[in-house]
Structure 1
Amino acid sequence: MKQVHISALQLFYVMLGFEIGNTLIFAIGAGAKQDAWLAVLVSMLGGLILMSVYVKLCSLYPNDTLVQMLPKIIGRFLSYPVIILYILYFTFLASTACRDFAELILSTILPNTPMVVVVGCFVVLVVYCLRGGITSLGQMGEMLLPVYMLVMVIVWILMMVTNDEFHLKQLTPVLGEGIQPVLDEVFPYPSPSILVFPFGETVLITMFLPFLNNQKKAKKTGIAIVFAGGILLALNSLVVIAVLGPNIYKQEFFPLLAATRMISIADFLERFDAIIILLMVAGVFLKVGGWTFGASVAISQLFKIKNNDSVLLALGAIITPFSIILATNFVQFRDVGKGFIDPYLHVPLQIVIPIGLLITALIRKARKS
């Protein structure tokens, strides 16, 4: 992979696509019922704090990725297990994103296709793009995200204008059951949290910032990524709940898809759900591409591999079968996310370790000065 620089705009598009890539289709914040959009906005505030931690950490070591700065902060021997943990984390989440994509495709347009074919073809495309370097990934984001966002806005407008089921009263009463249901969706315990999925996943930006061509724009870009993602997710929750209602929103595996299927223009233009599926392909491409890029760079830097094309091929060979054997069905796969990923992976690797690293780095810097 060619380690060249990307612009702040390209980083914004890639990380925004990464943040909302496979998130829009899910019922995030469903536990807060009609206040799901409010849970997203509150979580966004927490996401801004986490992003500030990531950017500050990178500003202390401007030319280093997370893998390179770890030995400088906690020492060589302590850093090795943490680095390996992050490599496994990035690879594991690339596999889960592939599984999300496969479940969506198999449940909609290709029900009789073997999962290994869907996942395998998708991973081949991701690896092929990443072999062109971070520049290729940046250009893909620059090409896909503006179209992605434009089409999503058009779909939301069609839901509001052409759908007889669209009623703003389904968003009321605001905080009808108090603030506690909203807080339960924000904080990681005892249930899955919007704070860690998707906002905390932007910890991956620590693998991208050293490649930014203008480090002075790092903070503004990071804040813009979280803010734009939060607004888009909140708007999506507002529109979908106004169409489906909070109860159906919570029950559906893919509520955005269900709401889109209800669009009908003069009983002639229908089946707009195909557009949503195409958008999800683009979004998940950036999601899987981001995790795979992070894992490949981490492996290359840990083992000092100059040309990591072989690393990408090896990751592709691991991600494909692992995404299939994660669970036997989608219900079991969701249980894996709720019971294992959130409490045991997201919380320590997105929140605890980065904050601990920042505190340690600041103390070391203060002692040196």
Structure 2
Amino acid sequence: MIQLSKREFFALMFIFEVGSTPLFELGIEAKEDAWIAILLSLLVGTVTIWIITELQSVFPTKNLIEIILIILGKKLGFILCTLYLMSYIWVCGRNLREFAELIIIEALPHASLWIILISYLALSVYTLSKGFEVLARTSQLVLPLIIFFLVSLIVLVSISHQFNLKNITPILANGFKPIIGTLPQLMWFPSGEIAVFLLYWHYMNDKKIVRKVTLEAVLLSGLLLCSSTILNIAVLGVNYTSSSTIPLLETIRVINIGGIITHLDVIGVIIIFIGGFFKMSVFLNSITVVIGSLFNTKNSKILLIPTGVFMLFFSIYFEPSFAYHQWMFPFDSRYFQVMYPCVFPPMLLLIYIIKKKRAEF
């Protein structure tokens, strides 16, 4: 049985939350108030996290698939588990493709997409083949470096000559309506994605602090993302931020301290690459866990290689380009993925409570 400490879980969830979020300017539909939209989504997200972790506390030694089958039974449970499987395949494929595209755009413009994807997947499959605990413990080693670089970049951008807080004004010029309009998207990405850890929280040594550790990871990562949003808008302005391919990297490029500290966008690429690796790996492993749990596979590790091969072709063919990938993202998170953290867990918890009440009478 895998046993992980709260520090290992915190590190993995924090890096997972940062993950691919720097590739997108979250809540930019609210324009200058995008940072307020992120803060509001964090507030709403705490309610979602409370519900999700409450479901875990009811079944502390079970993973999501086992919980679903217990509450809904085998037939209905199998259907919902299949929907979760489809979601993990979709998100894993998107993550894999977007980080491969990032490497091509920012670092290796003449490299083959196939080679990058194969290398990325091979590293992930190798790590996961050593056990999920290896992925978690590696994240604990990497976390201090990520926090140091993120905070350093925020400080350096803040003291640059291009930083202008007037770009984030006027505040609430159009009221709360544009901000509320971004919530369906932000409730899934990034905080809602934490629901995937329903497959892993039963590995925690002290199961009583699952909620506390999860909230700490989500809130801290959310505050950092809010800070990066303020920086992007303050430096680039709303219009350029909304149209940039990768706003964070464009913001980092303005850093120029005495003509000595420059060209730090390489650090930004490394941070995004590391976050993407851990995020994609969590979803890749989740696919094998779901399949293994549904079909009673004693060792789900044997599914890693065939799953990796499937994801290679899926990530290549399900999206024709990175522009299409970015266009699809708001629709994906707003109308489809939001169900997995915000609809299904409350439904499962409600059904469990009703069944428990009936059994008492």
Normalising TM by the smaller chain, what interval? over 0.9
Residue 191 of structure 2 corresponds to which residue in structure 1?
A: 199
Residue 353 of structure 1 corresponds to which residue in structure 2?
A: 344
Counterpart check, 1:219 vs 2:211? yes
Q: Distance in 2 between matches of 1:115 and 1:241?
A: 31
Deviation of 1:264 after TM superposition, in Å, equals 1.2
Residue 81 of structure 1 corresponds to which residue in structure 2?
A: 79
Q: Distance in 1 between matches of 2:326 and 2:23?
A: 14
The structure 1 residue matched to 2:170, chosen from 170, 173, 180, is: 173
Tell me the TM-score normalised to structure 1 length: 0.95
Q: Distance in 2 between matches of 1:63 and 1:84?
A: 21
Q: Distance in 2 between matches of 1:14 and 1:154?
A: 21
What is the identity, as a one-letter code, of the residue corresponding to 1:169? K
Residue 365 of structure 1 corresponds to which residue in structure 2?
A: 356
Q: Distance in 2 between matches of 1:46 and 1:315?
A: 34
Residue 30 of structure 1 corresponds to which residue in structure 2?
A: 28
Counterpart check, 1:319 vs 2:319? no
Question: Where in structure 2 are the equivalents of 1:34-183 lying within 5 Å?
Answer: 34-161=32-159, 163-183=160-180
The structure 1 residue matched to 2:299, chosen from 297, 307, 320, is: 307
Deviation of 1:309 after TM superposition, in Å, equals 2.3
Q: Distance in 2 between matches of 1:168 and 1:42?
A: 20
Provide Cα deviations, 1:291-310, integer angstroms capped at 9, x if missing partner: 11221111111111112222
Deviation of 1:227 after TM superposition, in Å, equals 1.1
Question: Where in structure 2 are the equivalents of 1:259-278 lying within 5 Å?
Answer: 259-278=251-270
Residue 243 of structure 2 corresponds to which residue in structure 1?
A: 251
Deviation of 1:368 after TM superposition, in Å, equals 2.7
Q: Distance in 2 between matches of 1:52 and 1:283?
A: 25
The structure 1 residue matched to 2:181, chosen from 184, 189, 194, is: 184
Q: Secondary structure at 1:245's aligned position in 2?
A: helix
What is the identity, as a one-letter code, of the residue corresponding to 1:265? I
Counterpart check, 1:288 vs 2:280? yes
What is the identity, as a one-letter code, of the residue corresponding to 1:112? H
Would the aligned equivalents of 2:127 and 2:135 in 1 still touch at CA under 8 Å? yes
Q: Secondary structure at 1:75's aligned position in 2?
A: helix
Deviation of 1:180 after TM superposition, in Å, equals 1.0
The structure 1 residue matched to 2:327, chosen from 308, 322, 335, is: 335
Q: Which runs of 5+ in 1 are unaligned?
A: none
Provide Cα deviations, 1:241-270, integer angstroms capped at 9, x if missing partner: 111111111111210000111111222332
What is the identity, as a one-letter code, of the residue corresponding to 1:310? I
Deviation of 1:343 after TM superposition, in Å, equals 4.2
Deviation of 1:114 after TM superposition, in Å, equals 1.1
Q: Distance in 2 between matches of 1:177 and 1:223?
A: 31
Q: Secondary structure at 1:24's aligned position in 2?
A: helix
Provide Cα deviations, 1:316-340, integer angstroms capped at 9, x if missing partner: 111112111122211112223233x
Provide Cα deviations, 1:111-141, integer angstroms capped at 9, x if missing partner: 1111111111011111111111121011111
Q: Secondary structure at 1:315's aligned position in 2?
A: helix
What is the identity, as a one-letter code, of the residue corresponding to 2:139? G
Deviation of 1:18 after TM superposition, in Å, equals 0.9
Would the aligned equivalents of 1:91 and 1:315 in 2 still touch at CA under 8 Å? no
In the comparison of the two structures, how many residue pairs are matched? 360
Deviation of 1:367 after TM superposition, in Å, equals 2.4
Would the aligned equivalents of 1:91 and 1:291 in 2 still touch at CA under 8 Å? yes
Q: Distance in 2 between matches of 1:83 and 1:301?
A: 10
Would the aligned equivalents of 2:17 and 2:221 in 1 still touch at CA under 8 Å? yes
Q: Percent identity?
A: 29
Would the aligned equivalents of 1:300 and 1:306 in 2 still touch at CA under 8 Å? yes
What is the identity, as a one-letter code, of the residue corresponding to 2:343? V
Deviation of 1:150 after TM superposition, in Å, equals 1.0
Q: CA RMSD in A?
A: 1.3
Q: Which runs of 5+ in 2 are unaligned?
A: none
Q: Distance in 2 between matches of 1:91 and 1:291?
A: 8
| Range that drifts further, 49-58 or 290-299 | 290-299
Q: Distance in 2 between matches of 1:47 and 1:32?
A: 18
Provide Cα deviations, 1:55-110, integer angstroms capped at 9, x if missing partner: 00011111111100111111111111111111121122111011110121111111
